[in-house]
Amino acid sequence: MPAAAPPERNTPAQPLLPALRQVERATLREQVVESVRSALMNGHFQPGQVVTVKSITEMLGASVMPAREAMNRLIAEGALELRPNRTVIVPLLSGQEFDELTDLRCHIEGQVAAQAVGRMTPADLERLRAIDEAMHRAGGKGDIDAYLDGNFRFHFGIYRLGASPFMLSIIEKLWVRAGPLIRACFNETGCHDASRHHANIVSHLAAGEGGALRQAIVADISVAAQTIRAVHAGRLQARTGAQATPSPQAGRGAVHGRQHGALRP
């Protein structure tokens, strides 16, 4: 007679482990992406400037892996450009691309600003006036970083009230391209006093004049675009005249943002 099978043990079922995301790495990568994107929007990079994983880690104190992941993400978004030689740079725009960028900014930012009318509180208006005054002081001192930071806070202080998250993300993408161009222009000409345009913007906001506010935003963007265009034309003319007498610097390329104007020829 066969031996009886041993009784089965009632082993309690092991609970399934929850599927957890690697929060720390993802969060750190996003923080690096946002920091670099913010620096581009605020004009802390120049068109054609080389961006490396090492430079990102040094600027932000991040480790190599999240810095590399962030760079790949920004390349995919078009915020950075991967050249055939594997160099990563801040993109250069052609004249046509710059004109399209300006037209888009005028249309979208003007519309969003007009939508902010009626949502602006007296405290918001005072905050905008204080930012504009700080910009004026920074411009007088030649502090380009503080001036551009203030310009970003001024405009986005309005846009965040008038835009949906989707529309705000579009404006941010436009500023990622515009910020470096403005920086390159200011490095040539110094800070431009935008207080007249900003005063008009605040005045129309306070009065609830959506149409006039839209026009004031368009004027602010258009004047800056004209200055960028003029600086670029001057640099192209200077480079064309210098071709007859090549210097030791000639032929080095654009990646350091010194041999090019703000725009691609």
Is residue 11 assigned to a domain?
Answer: no
User: Alpha-carbon distance 181 to 239, whole Å?
Assistant: 18
Is residue 245 assigned to a domain?
Answer: no
User: Alpha-carbon distance 96 to 98, whole Å?
Assistant: 5
- Domain match, 70 and 170 both: no
> Under 8 Å CB-to-CB from 195, ≥6 apart: which residues?
132, 135, 136
Domain total of the chain: 2
| Domain housing 39 | 26-89
pLDDT, one tens digit for every residue, the chain (265 residues): 555 555 555 555 555 555 444 435 558 888 889 999 999 999 889 899 999 999 999 888 888 998 999 999 999 999 999 999 999 999 998 889 999 999 999 999 999 999 999 899 999 999 999 999 999 999 989 999 999 999 999 999 999 999 999 999 999 999 999 999 988 888 887 777 777 899 999 999 999 999 999 999 999 999 999 998 888 776 545 545 544 333 333 333 333 333 345 566 5
Most distant CA atoms of the chain, gap in Å: 109
Residue 218 has what pLDDT? 97
State which of 63, 89, 115 marks the end of a domain. Answer: 89
- Domain match, 48 and 158 both: no
Is residue 59 assigned to a domain?
Answer: yes
Indicate which CATH number applies to the domain containing 44. 1.10.10.10
Cα 176 to the chain's mean position, in Å? 3
- Domain match, 122 and 217 both: yes
- Domain match, 134 and 36 both: no
Cα 90 to the chain's mean position, in Å? 11
Is residue 169 assigned to a domain?
Answer: yes
How large is the angle between the packed helices 122-141 and 144-162, nearest 10 degrees? 160
- Domain match, 131 and 223 both: yes
Is residue 12 assigned to a domain?
Answer: no
> Under 8 Å CB-to-CB from 215, ≥6 apart: which residues?
110
- Domain match, 68 and 198 both: no
- Domain match, 64 and 105 both: no
Q: What is the pTM of this model?
A: 0.78
User: Alpha-carbon distance 64 to 49, whole Å?
Assistant: 20
Is residue 76 assigned to a domain?
Answer: yes
- Domain match, 55 and 104 both: no
Whether the Cβ atoms of residue 23 and residue 159 lie closer than 8 Å to each other: no
Residue 62 has what pLDDT? 82
State which of 43, 70, 89 marks the end of a domain. Answer: 89
Is residue 8 assigned to a domain?
Answer: no
